[in-house]
């Protein structure tokens, strides 16, 4: 006998997008039609399989009173039912499209609601789901409405005839896995649930259904043309422009255009017989012209980021305030663009982009990356049975979001290979909306796209593309280039951003890029701090690859965001200290500099002695001016290091930042630092146990430093090891050598220190050693030479590599332990972390911090917190001057403990503070997904000599 028990769940594995839903349309909030949010607490029952329970729960009268409760919007796996799963591109189930596993967590949701007393009895009603992962079947009052897939897309059902004044029963069955899951293989947590709003909308007779605002701008005439096409006829008014026209009619008037820099929106209204809808109109024209992306006649430069929706407790169920926080953080860090990787965001996010000004690449909810493992065989995007689902997704995105001026590109999806389905999507989109361009990265021949887009191309290749020497199809050669992903912000880094930006600003064809990515998707966890892949016992996972954002899970900016802000600052400030001028360049595409106020200040040894306003002309985009600085303050004597700092600040409060918010800055030296000098006048003397030199004592047998004045210093020795960063380790598929791995192989984390000699000379104590790893012939001949003038102590370290060094060093310097330390002061780069290729934002000045505040809490602990270009520092009662400048880190744990930690909570602070003073650090790069450090940031094993002058702070 052969039979199937699962007929009722066939839709789950059906490649079709669904049935019963209304055609897609624009998302808008009516001024007068009633709506009822169905967000809140719902009854919830979890079943292990799609067909475990029948559908009687959808019947009115069914008693779900004993069920659990979940919050909607929300993901049930973040509310104590089951667990999240993280994979990058591997499907967490067997690849056998469109079949999914029998184990298919299925959440039945029930919500009973009454209509408000003033709910009108005429007209219809629509039930809208803004996002459900991954497949839902819906009933209202026992009547099935339909089922749908397309997790991050809206679906609406006509329900007017089914509504009752009270006791309406809305039942939704949600399956974690469905045929749709094959189209949603994005690199993120798999998080089932009703994770966006559920809303009941009254639809009065004669109300608007769908409308399309066409608002273009002619940069030659300065006029905008408005036409609003609407399914239901009505009138369109824009009071500020004296516009009052019928739908479908065009009107051309002088306007201020919309751009990400000048987001001028005009309030308007679409009024039909049954409804009035507020409009926010931005006039702008996007074209591909002369091989460039132009908006309002000008080529633009994307300074963007990829944004996934993320909240450490709520997953992808974001509230409006969190979305606004994202936009404000972006604007305050000089970003001008967002790619909504890899799906259309909550619609309210796009309202914020319109309002505050961000260029948007709106990406479709489509990724089939896992098929790469079978050389893209059976890829749904090249199988016409799936094409209706692809077209459905494209239409749901375009129709929902078409009225946002911020959206300048539609993106077909991400990492889905190539195929006829994508071409069908592109053709449909081009036909439906000729006012925007089409993006897709996965086809380097650009068959369907209006831009050549790549991810993680190395600097040299980007330069080649900039020079148009990259070849490719004829079509591609004529297209502009963007990096839709670059600068992989996983852990410490990304390095090399300034080098990319320089290229973007040098070649017209390069129109910028989008950092991968905005936020670490860490999940708040009571024992681990933030959880990442594998922390929920997933059988297949990709670890902390899910934590690769410019902000931490709690939205604290990481040093990567601070660096990016500096690298993309919209005003160039370069000076010449000698002749006292500063060259200011307006790097905006549209705005002049009138919104900014400039300020100069003059520092002597890092301390500001005078400051004042600097008058800078309101330069037009692209213009530069040389501005004379005032005379340097009279008492800024010789014998000190002096410099100018010029800053560009917001001249007044704006929508996104307060007056005085810093937008850009530059520093340039006037006189160089006098190096510390210590006359070697003291002579070392020895007792049985100790050697004395100036303020210091040493172990007589080993020559190891023990005290400086009253300060105990222990374990001082050469150090080359740092806890490898995610970018040091690199991803296995990257082509650059993965030095993090090789460092470990060659034992740089277990160097042995052989003592060769302790020599007492007339004016110096010299300790000769060889520092080398077991098993290898390579080593570092290391000599510590101590001298003193009786008060200060000078240590000169000379390092000579021996053997055949084939790897750079992670770091080169000394480390030691202080029994006690808390506050740290320094004159050098700050206030934050910096490494050789991440130090654009490191500002030279006087800084202070506590040891704890020096740490950058990467979700997976790793090397962090170095401060660059340090002239001197004070810590734990010691003053340390560098000759030359140095880097330092200070922590309450050892590098070995940092290296061993997997989560923040693995690090337990002790009283001892471990200080590293480094002569060099190896670059960071972006090899966790991208290039390693560029050669100029390598710390090669080469002969080196460096000194520190140590004294007790009085
Ligand atoms: C890209 C992909 C992203 C993310 C990134 C690495 O290939 O589009 O979704 O996986 O790599 O973090």
For residue 701, pLDDT beyond 90: yes
Cα separation, 130 vs 365, whole angstroms: 13
User: What's the gap in Å between 14 CA and the centre of ligand 1?
Assistant: 28
Number of alpha carbons in the 13 Å side-chain half-sphere of residue 447 = 12
Based on its alpha-carbon atoms, the radius of gyration of the chain, rounded to whole angstroms, reads 31
516 close to ligand 1 (CB < 6 Angstrom): yes
* Nearest alpha carbon, ligand 1 atom 3: 187
How large is the greatest C-alpha to C-alpha distance in the chain, in angstroms? 104
| pLDDT tens column, 198-210 | 999 999 999 999 9
Ligand 1, residues 189, 412, 485, 859: which to mutate, most atoms within 8 A of Cβ? 485
Active site residue 853: no
Ligand 1, residues 343, 549, 929: which to mutate, most atoms within 8 A of Cβ? 929
What's the average model confidence in pLDDT over 153-168?
Answer: 97
Q: What structural domains does the chain harbor?
A: 10-203 (2.60.120.260), 211-285 (2.60.40.10), 288-566 (3.20.20.80), 570-671 (2.60.40.10), 688-952 (2.70.98.10)
* Nearest alpha carbon, ligand 1 atom 9: 187
| Confidence tier at 9 by pLDDT (50, 70, 90) | confident
| pLDDT tens column, 173-205 | 999 999 999 999 999 999 999 999 999 999 999
Cα separation, 353 vs 280, whole angstroms: 12
Q: Check residue 389 and report its DSSP letter.
A: H
| pLDDT tens column, 442-487 | 999 999 999 999 999 999 999 999 999 999 999 999 999 999 999 9
453 close to ligand 1 (CB < 6 Angstrom): no
Nearest Cα to Cα of residue 852 among 886, 811, 823? 823
356 close to ligand 1 (CB < 6 Angstrom): no
Ligand 1, residues 87, 415, 453, 548: which to mutate, most atoms within 8 A of Cβ? 415
CB 795, CB 820: distance < 8 Å: no
For residue 161, pLDDT beyond 80: yes
Nearest Cα to Cα of residue 825 among 722, 723, 705, 953? 953
User: What's the gap in Å between 549 CA and the centre of ligand 1?
Assistant: 11
306 close to ligand 1 (CB < 6 Angstrom): no
User: Strand runs (DSSP E) across 219-274, as ranges?
Assistant: 223-230, 234-238, 243-246, 250-254, 266-272
Which alpha helices (H) appear in 255-386, and where do they start and end? 320-332, 347-356
Active site residue 631: no
User: What's the gap in Å between 342 CA and the centre of ligand 1?
Assistant: 10
Cα separation, 187 vs 521, whole angstroms: 10
| Confidence tier at 3 by pLDDT (50, 70, 90) | very low
* Nearest alpha carbon, ligand 1 atom 6: 929
User: What's the gap in Å between 330 CA and the centre of ligand 1?
Assistant: 20
For residue 635, pLDDT beyond 80: no
CB 794, CB 786: distance < 8 Å: yes
User: What's the gap in Å between 363 CA and the centre of ligand 1?
Assistant: 14
Q: Which residues pair with 70 in a beta bridge?
A: 42
Q: Which residues pair with 238 in a beta bridge?
A: 243
414 close to ligand 1 (CB < 6 Angstrom): yes
Cα separation, 570 vs 621, whole angstroms: 10
Residues constituting the chain: 954
Residue 5: the pLDDT is: 44
Cα separation, 564 vs 494, whole angstroms: 9
∠ CA 243-249-253, rounded to 5°: 40
881 close to ligand 1 (CB < 6 Angstrom): no
Nearest Cα to Cα of residue 931 among 461, 554, 602? 461
CB 575, CB 629: distance < 8 Å: yes
| pLDDT tens column, 427-441 | 999 999 999 999 999
User: What's the gap in Å between 302 CA and the centre of ligand 1?
Assistant: 19
Cα separation, 737 vs 685, whole angstroms: 49
* Nearest alpha carbon, ligand 1 atom 11: 929
% of the chain at pLDDT higher than 90: 97
CB 573, CB 664: distance < 8 Å: yes
Cα separation, 175 vs 314, whole angstroms: 19
Tell me which H or E stretch contains 395.
Answer: helix 387-401
Cα separation, 954 vs 951, whole angstroms: 9
Residue 634: the pLDDT is: 75
User: What's the gap in Å between 187 CA and the centre of ligand 1?
Assistant: 6
Cα separation, 321 vs 943, whole angstroms: 54
Tell me which H or E stretch contains 729.
Answer: helix 726-729
User: What's the gap in Å between 546 CA and the centre of ligand 1?
Assistant: 9
| pLDDT tens column, 545-573 | 999 999 999 999 999 999 999 999 999 99
Residue 6: the pLDDT is: 43
User: What's the gap in Å between 542 CA and the centre of ligand 1?
Assistant: 12
918 close to ligand 1 (CB < 6 Angstrom): no
CB 597, CB 650: distance < 8 Å: yes
Measured from the Cα of 415, ligand 1's closest atom is 8
548 close to ligand 1 (CB < 6 Angstrom): yes
Nearest Cα to Cα of residue 203 among 143, 163, 166? 163
Ligand 1, residues 516, 520, 548, 860: which to mutate, most atoms within 8 A of Cβ? 516
- Cis peptide preceding 517, ω within 30 of 0: yes
For residue 514, pLDDT beyond 70: yes
Ligand 1, residues 88, 416, 549: which to mutate, most atoms within 8 A of Cβ? 88
Q: Check residue 21 and report its DSSP letter.
A: P
Cα separation, 276 vs 211, whole angstroms: 12
Pairing of strands 811-818, 711-719: antiparallel
88 close to ligand 1 (CB < 6 Angstrom): yes
929 close to ligand 1 (CB < 6 Angstrom): yes
End-to-end CA distance of the chain: 93
Residues 6+ apart with CB under 8 A from 635: 609
Residue 520: the pLDDT is: 98
Choice among 415, 517, 569, 885 that is catalytic: 415
Nearest Cα to Cα of residue 381 among 436, 450, 448, 455? 448
| pLDDT tens column, 836-880 | 999 999 999 999 999 999 999 999 999 999 999 999 999 999 999
Cα separation, 844 vs 824, whole angstroms: 16
Q: For the CA atoms of 721, 725, 731, 735, what is the dihedral angle to 10 degrees?
A: -60
| pLDDT tens column, 92-121 | 999 999 999 999 999 999 999 999 999 999
Backbone CA torsion sign across 244, 248, 253, 257: positive
For residue 588, pLDDT beyond 90: yes
For residue 306, pLDDT beyond 90: yes
423 close to ligand 1 (CB < 6 Angstrom): no
Residue 636: the pLDDT is: 60
Choice among 485, 538, 563, 569 that is catalytic: 485
Measured from the Cα of 441, ligand 1's closest atom is 8
187 close to ligand 1 (CB < 6 Angstrom): yes
DSSP string, 294-338: EETTEE--EEEEE----BTTTBT---HHHHHHHHHHHHHTT--EE
CB 142, CB 357: distance < 8 Å: no
Q: Check residue 22 and report its DSSP letter.
A: P
Q: Check residue 242 and report its DSSP letter.
A: T
765 close to ligand 1 (CB < 6 Angstrom): no
DSSP string, 179-238: GGGGGB--SEEE--EE-S-EEEEEE-TT----EEEEEEEETTTTEEEEEEEESS-EEEEE
Average confidence score pLDDT of the chain: 97
For residue 789, pLDDT beyond 70: yes
- CB-based burial, 630-663: b 16+ in 10 Å, e otherwise: eebeeebeeebbbbbbbbbbbeeeeebeeeeeeb
């Amino acid at each position: 006998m052969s039979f199937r028990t699962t007929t009722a769940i066939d839709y789950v594995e059906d490649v079709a997008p669904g049935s019963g839903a209304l055609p897609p349309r624009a998302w808008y909030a009516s001024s007068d039609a009633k709506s009822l949010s169905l967000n809140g607490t719902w009854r919830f029952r979890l079943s292990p399989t799609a067909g475990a329970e029948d559908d009687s729960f959808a019947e009115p009268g069914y008693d779900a009173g004993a069920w659990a409760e979940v919050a909607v919007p929300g993901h049930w796996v973040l509310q104590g039912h089951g667990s999240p799963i993280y994979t990058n591109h591997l499907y967490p189930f067997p690849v056998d499209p469109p079949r999914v596993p029998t184990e298919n967590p299925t959440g039945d949701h029930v919500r009973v609601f009454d209509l408000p007393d003033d709910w009108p009895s005429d007209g219809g009603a629509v039930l809208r789901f803004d996002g459900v992962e991954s497949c839902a079947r819906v009933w209202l009052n026992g009547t099935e409405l339909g089922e749908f897939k397309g997790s991050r897309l809206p679906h609406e059902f006509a329900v007017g005839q089914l509504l009752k004044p009270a006791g309406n029963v809305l039942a939704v069955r949600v399956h974690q896995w469905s045929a749709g899951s094959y189209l949603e293989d994005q690199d993120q947590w798999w998080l089932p649930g009703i994770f966006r709003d559920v809303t009941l909308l009254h639809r009065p007779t004669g109300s608007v259904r769908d409308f399309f605002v066409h608002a273009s701008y002619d940069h030659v005439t300065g006029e905008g043309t408005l036409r609003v096409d609407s399914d239901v006829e009505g009138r369109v008014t824009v009071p500020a422009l004296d516009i009052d026209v019928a739908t479908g009619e065009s009107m051309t008037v002088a306007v201020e255009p919309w751009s990400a820099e000048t987001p001028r929106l005009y309030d308007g209204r679409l009024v039909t017989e049954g409804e009035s809808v507020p409009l926010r109109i931005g006039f702008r024209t996007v074209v591909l012209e002369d091989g460039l992306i132009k908006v309002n006649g000008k080529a633009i430069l994307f300074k963007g980021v990829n944004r996934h929706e993320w909240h450490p407790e709520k997953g992808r169920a974001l509230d409006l305030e969190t979305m606004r926080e994202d936009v404000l953080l972006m604007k305050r860090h000089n970003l001008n663009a967002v790619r909504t990787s890899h799906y259309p965001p909550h619609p309210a996010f796009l309202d914020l982009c319109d309002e505050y000004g961000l260029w948007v690449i709106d990406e479709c909810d489509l990724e089939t990356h896992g098929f790469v493992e079978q050389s893209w065989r059976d890829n749904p995007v090249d199988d016409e049975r799936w094409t209706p689902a692809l077209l459905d997704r494209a239409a749901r995105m375009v129709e929902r979001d078409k009225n946002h001026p911020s959206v300048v590109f539609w993106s077909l999806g991400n990492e889905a290979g190539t195929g006829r389905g994508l071409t069908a999507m592109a053709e449909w989109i081009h036909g439906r909306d000729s006012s925007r361009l089409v993006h897709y990265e996965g086809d380097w021949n650009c068959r369907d796209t209006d831009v050549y887009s790549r991810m993680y191309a190395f600097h040299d290749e980007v330069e080649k593309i900039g020079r148009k020497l990259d070849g490719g199809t004829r079509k591609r050669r004529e297209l502009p280039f963007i990096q839709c992903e670059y600068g992989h912000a996983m852990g410490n880094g990304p390095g090399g951003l300034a080098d990319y930006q320089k290229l973007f600003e040098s070649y017209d064809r390069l129109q910028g890029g989008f950092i991968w990515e905005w936020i670490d998707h860490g999940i708040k966890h009571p024992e681990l701090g933030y959880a990442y892949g594998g922390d929920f016992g997933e059988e297949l996972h990709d670890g902390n690859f899910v934590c690769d954002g410019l902000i931490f899970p709690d939205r604290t900016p990481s040093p990567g965001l601070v660096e990016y802000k500096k690298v993309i600052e919209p005003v160039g400030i370069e000076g010449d200290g000698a002749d006292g001028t500063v060259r200011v360049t307006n790097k905006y595409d549209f705005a002049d500099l009138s919104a900014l106020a400039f300020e100069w200040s003059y520092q002597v040894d890092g301390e500001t002695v005078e400051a004042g306003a600097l008058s800078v002309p309101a330069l037009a985009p692209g213009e530069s001016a040389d501005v004379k600085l005032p005379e340097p303050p009279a008492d800024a004597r010789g014998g000190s290091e002096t410099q100018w700092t010029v800053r560009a600040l917001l001249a007044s409060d704006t929508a996104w930042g307060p007056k005085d918010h810093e937008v850009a800055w530059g520093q340039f030296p006037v006189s160089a630092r006098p190096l510390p000098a210590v006359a070697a006048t003291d002579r070392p003397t020895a007792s049985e146990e100790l050697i004395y030199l100036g303020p210091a004592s040493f172990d007589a047998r080993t020559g190891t430093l023990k005290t400086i004045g009253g300060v105990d210093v222990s374990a001082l020795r050469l150090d080359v090891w740092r806890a490898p960063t995610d970018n040091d380790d690199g991803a296995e598929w990257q082509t650059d050598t993965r030095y993090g791995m090789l460092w470990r192989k060659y034992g740089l984390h277990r160097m042995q220190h052989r003592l060769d000699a302790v020599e007492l000379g007339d004016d110096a104590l010299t300790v000769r050693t060889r520092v080398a790893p077991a098993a290898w012939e390579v080593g570092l001949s290391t000599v510590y030479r101590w001298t003193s003038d009786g008060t200060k102590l000078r240590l000169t370290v000379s390092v000579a590599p021996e053997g055949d060094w084939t790897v750079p060093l992670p770091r080169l310097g000394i480390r030691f332990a202080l029994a006690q330390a808390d506050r740290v002061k320094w004159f050098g780069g700050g206030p934050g972390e910096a490494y050789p290729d991440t130090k654009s934002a490191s500002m030279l000045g006087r800084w202070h911090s506590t040891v704890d505040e020096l740490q950058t809490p990467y979700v997976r602990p790793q090397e962090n917190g170095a401060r660059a270009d340090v002239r001197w520092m004070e810590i734990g009662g010691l003053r340390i001057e560098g000759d030359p400048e140095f880097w330092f880190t200070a922590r309450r744990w050892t590098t070995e403990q940092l290296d061993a930690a997997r989560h923040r909570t693995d690090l337990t602070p002790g009283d001892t503070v471990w200080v590293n003073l480094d002569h060099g650090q190896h670059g960071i790069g972006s090899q966790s997904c991208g290039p390693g450090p560029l050669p100029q940031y390598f710390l090669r094993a080469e002969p080196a000599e460096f000194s520190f002058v140590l004294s007790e702070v009085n």
